[in-house]
Amino acid sequence: MAFAYFIVFLLTFSFFAKTAPIWVMIATDINNYFNFVMALFMAFSKAFKVPFAIIQLCWSGVTSPEDLNKKRPYVLVGAFVVGMLLTLPDVFSQTLLAIPMCLLYEVGIFFALSIRVNAIRRRKKKTKAKNPRCLEAFLFIICGNRPSLLCQKTNDNTRQLSWLV
């Protein structure tokens, strides 16, 4: 919201003031001003939710960061189309919406990739803690193809050494 109000509005209103003829007095109606402000606030608030949408899509498995990297050119064109539809009919405000959307798209891909890498690391760490391979290899060497002679499965599906033999 601060980006829209302090940067986009400032530049847009200065653009309108500079392009108006000298003999025309700029007097905005309060109703039109608030409609304009709310329309741009809504457009920029939707645009700044791009990283959250990307993270949710990657987290739920709908897409992956690699797929999103492949679709980057289409997203760039789509950002400018969305900027065209949601902002004023000038190229300047369209660009002021499209460039942050593209940057936020990249930020979303970065965070989705980092979340995915952290999940893979946690999964590997969890499986290493639950499955000590050296014990299973030791039991296989001792018991041959029948490690059930010395091992019993517990309730949490891990093997526990049995001293019955």
**Confidence (pLDDT) at 106:** 92
**Confidence (pLDDT) at 136:** 56
How confident is the chain (165 residues) per 10-residue block, as mean pLDDT?
A: 74 76 78 83 83 88 88 92 81 85 91 86 71 53 51 52 44
The C-alpha atoms of residue 134 and residue 123 are separated, in whole angstroms, by: 19
Q: How many CA atoms lie within 13 A of 77 on its CB side?
A: 3
The C-alpha atoms of residue 103 and residue 97 are separated, in whole angstroms, by: 10
Helix 91-130, helix 50-60: angle, nearest 10? 30
DSSP one-letter code for 92: H
The C-alpha atoms of residue 23 and residue 129 are separated, in whole angstroms, by: 79
Helix 91-130, helix 9-19: angle, nearest 10? 170
- Domain-wise residue ranges, the chain: 46-130, 132-165
Confidence (pTM): 0.61
Dig out the tokens for 160 from the structure.
């526990």
**Burial of 84 from C-beta contacts in 10 A (0-12 / 13-18 / 19+):** middle
**Confidence (pLDDT) at 77:** 94
**Confidence (pLDDT) at 157:** 52
